[in-house]
Amino acid sequence: MPSTPNDPATAAPGRPPIVDLATWQAARDELLVREKAHTREGDAIAAARRRLPMVELDGTVELVGPDGPVPFLSLFEGRDELVVYQHMWYDGAPHQGQCEGCTTTVWHLKDAVYLNARGVSFAVLTTGRWDEVAAYVEFMGYTQPWYSVRDVAAPIGGGMGHLACFLRDGDRVFLTYSTTGRGNEPANGSLGLLDMTPYGRREAWEDNPAGWPDAAEAGSPVGGHGAPICWYWRTDADGVATWGPTSRPTPQWTRPGVTPAQTLGRGLV
């Protein structure tokens, strides 16, 4: 006997009901009211963010880049605004042992052309020794400006894993904003798109219908961190999320000649 789309015996567990287009549109319009309220609240928060007080910094502080030591002020490249991502670093680790979350964020910011068009420069800062950083940047194929802030005091050299914004007024430099954790998500367009999909991110914290695919079903086994591994952090050569010894940060599998790693390599010297 053929099954029907809404037959409880054959429907996928947790699947929303199947309706006609008019019914779907009514439900969609109802959700749109909440989405617009969310957008307006985000606009209000952004307006408050633009009114935060500022902290003046020493723009002459030197960082190390491909051409040697340069003053922090030079990262503005003549523009008035600067956004930096502060990339965590593990000294002596091979490429596959560097921070997975930071790799994900920076991978989504490979080209800052639209920031530049609005008078905003972008750079990546990290505490690694420049020789190690330069090798990693070449391996990943990054085109953004990278600099080592080793031994540079906070806030320029502190808060790794953060996005931070700065304003320049002539030769004066000010810190205007900083965020971390899920505050970094605006830099990762993949997450916003996945939030629109039926299954979402398939992460353990999400509020999903009963029976919906969970993190384990999405290839995110529980690892040594005591929680399901984020699928976008590390995978094996087959794209299966894993914290095993042959995994790499997900974007690294696109690099030419990459093979399974033999160790996570944290802190090797």
pLDDT at 210: 83
Which H helix or E strand runs over 174? strand 172-180
What pLDDT score does 150 carry? 96
Find tokens 């830099």 and name the residue. 187
Name which of 166, 23, 181, 29 is nearest 102 in CA terms.
181
- Residues 136, 140, 143, 146: is their CA dihedral positive or negative? negative
The closest of 101, 103, 122 to 111, measured between CA atoms, is 122
Give the per-residue pLDDT at 228.
Answer: 55
Q: How do the domains of the chain map onto residue ranges?
A: 55-182
The long-range contacts involving 108-111, CB below 8 angstroms and separated by at least 24 positions, are: 108/187, 108/188, 108/189, 108/190, 109/85, 109/144, 109/187, 110/142, 110/143, 110/144, 111/143, 111/144
Q: Does domain 55-182 have CATH number 3.40.50.720?
A: no
Helical segments of the chain, H only? 21-49, 100-107, 113-117, 130-140, 189-194
Q: What's the pLDDT score for residue 229?
A: 60
pLDDT of residue 110: 87
**Rounded (to 5) percent helix, strand, coil in the chain:** 30, 20, 50
| Token output for 102 | 């930071």
Give pLDDT, residue 187: 94
The pLDDT value recorded for residue 262 is 81
DSSP 17-60: PP--HHHHHHHHHHHHHHHHHHHHHHHHHHHHHTTS--EEE-TT
Q: Which residues contact 159 (CB under 8 A, 6 or more apart)?
A: 86, 178, 180
The answer to whether 114 and 73 are in contact (CB under 8 A) is no
Tokens of 136: 């990693």
Q: So what's the pLDDT on residue 251?
A: 93
Give the angle 117-145-168 at the CA atoms, nearest 5°: 55
**pLDDT tens across the length of the chain (269 residues):** 444 555 555 566 778 899 999 999 999 999 999 999 999 999 999 999 999 999 999 999 999 999 999 999 999 999 999 999 999 999 999 999 999 999 999 999 989 999 999 999 999 999 999 999 999 999 999 999 999 999 999 989 888 999 999 999 999 999 999 999 999 999 999 999 999 999 888 887 888 888 887 655 544 444 434 345 677 788 899 988 888 888 999 999 999 999 998 877 775 43
Annotate 248-264 with b (16+ C-beta within 10 A) or e (fewer): bbbbbbeeeeeeebeeb
How much is the pTM? 0.88
Please report the pLDDT score of residue 179 as a whole number.
Answer: 96
Give the N- to C-terminal CA distance of the chain in Å, as an integer.
66
